[in-house]
Structure 1
Amino acid sequence: MQTPKTRRPVLVGALLAAVAAGGAAYAYSQRRAPLATVHHVNLSRYAGLWYEIARLPQYFEKGCHYVTAEYRPLADGRLEVINTCHKGEIHGPVKKARGVARAVDPQTNAKLKVQFQWPFEGDYWILALDPEYQFALVGSPDRKGLWILSRTPHMPLSTRRTLVTMAQGKGFPVDKLIYTDQPAGPLT
C-alpha cells in the first residue's frame, strides 16, 4: 500500500515528464520560422481563373485531376471561390465546391481565410506571387496545405522548380507534392 510519502516521487516524476514533453513540443514549434507572405496582393488582379500545378495531399482533393480555382470579387470586399475538380481522371465527372475568402490582414491582403462550410475556415496565405499575377505559391502556416497555381494549365519547369525550392525553404514537405494532371489543350 502506498503512503503519501511513497506516492510523492511517482507524482513528481509524472509532473516532470509532462513538463519535459510540453517543453519539447514548444521547442519544436519555435524551430519553425514564421511563414512570410508577399508584401501586398491586389485582390482584383488576383481574381480570375487559376490552374493547380501541384499540391500537398488534401482529403478534399483525393482523386482530383484538372483542378482549377476561380475567384470572383464580391461587393463586400470578399472573394467568391469556386474550386473545380475532375474525379478519377482529366475527363472524369466534375466536382465543384463553392466558398468565400476574406482578407484577415487588410494591410497586405496576403493572408486570407477561406470558408466552404460554415463555421469552418482554412488559412490561405499567398507566399509568392508573380508581379504580373501569372503564378502563385499559396500555403497554410501549419505547413500542411500548399498549392502551386498558374493562370495557364502548364508552367515552365524552371518556374515550378523555383517555387518548389522556395516552399522547401519555408519548411513545407515538398517530397509529398502531387503534380496535378491538366489538359494539354482546350477540352471539347
Structure 2
Amino acid sequence: MQTSLKLLGILCITAILSACTGMPDNIKPVDNFELNKYTGTWYEIARLDHSFERGLEGITAEYSINPDGSVKVINKGYSAEEQEWQQAEGKAKFAEQQDIGHLEVSFFGPFYSSYVVFELDKQNYQYAYITGYNKEYLWFLSRSPNVTEQQMQDFINTAKEYGFKTDELIYVDHNSL
C-alpha cells in the first residue's frame, strides 16, 4: 500500500512538472529555428502580467550559448519602486529538435517551463512572439527598444487570433530610463 502511494505521488508530480513544459492548444513552435541567430539582446515590448516581472520596466533578455550547448538566459529589468536593476539568470535547453523553437527554461534549479517561439522574423531575427506552457504567458520581443505601430498591431492581431487576452497586455517602457 505504501509503495503504491509513493508511486502515485511520483506520477502526480511528474505529470504536474511535465505540464509546465508543454504547449497551449493551437500553438505551434517555429521550425528552422537557428539558435545562433537568436542569441544576443532582446527588448521586451509587451507582455501579459505575471509576478516575476511585475513593476519592472526597461526589460531585456540576453541569450548566449554555454559550452555544453545549453543557453544562458539573463533577464534584467528596472524597478522604479526599489530604484534599482533586478536580474535573474537561468538556463534553457531544447525541448525537442534543435531547429524547433520550443525550449525549456529554468530559473529555479531542476524545474523547467516552456519557452515557445511561435512567431519569428526568420530572415533577420528582429522580432519574436513567445508563450509558455499556457496562454497566461505572452511576450513580444524585439531587437530594438521601440517598434512601429504596424509591428505592434501585427503582434496584437496575431496574439488575438491565437486566443491570448490582448486587452490585458502591459507595454514596457524603455524610454524613461
> Cα distance 1:119–1:157, how it changes in 2: closer, same or farther (>3 A)?
same
AA matched with 1:165: N
Q: Percent identity?
A: 35
TM-score between both structures, scaled by the size of structure 2: 0.81
Q: Secondary structure at the match of 2:173?
A: coil
Asked which structure has the greater CA Rg, the reply is 1
Higher relative contact order (CA 8 A, sep 6+): 2
The corresponding residue for 2:8 is none
Q: Name stretches of at least 5 consecutive residues in structure 1 with no aligned partner.
A: 1-31
2:142 is the alignment partner of 1:150: yes
Match 1:165 to one of 157, 163, 174: 157
Q: Name stretches of at least 5 consecutive residues in structure 2 with no aligned partner.
A: 1-23
How far apart are residue 154 of structure 1 and its match? Answer: 0.4
Match 1:109 to one of 100, 104, 122: 100
2:123 is the alignment partner of 1:128: no
Alignment of 1:80-95 (within 5 A): 80-88=72-80, 92-95=83-86
**CA RMSD of superposed structures (Å):** 1.7
Are the equivalent residues in 2 in contact too, given 1:104–1:112 (CA < 8 A)? yes
Distance 1:129 1:168 in 2: 16
The corresponding residue for 2:60 is 68
Aligned residues: 153
> Cα distance 1:163–1:93, how it changes in 2: closer, same or farther (>3 A)?
same
Structure 1 residue ranges (4+ consecutive) displaced by more than 3 angstroms after TM superposition = none
2:34 is the alignment partner of 1:42: yes
- What whole-Å deviation, never above 9, does each CA across 1:86-133 have from its counterpart, x for those lacking one? 0027x9310000000111121533101100011221111001111200
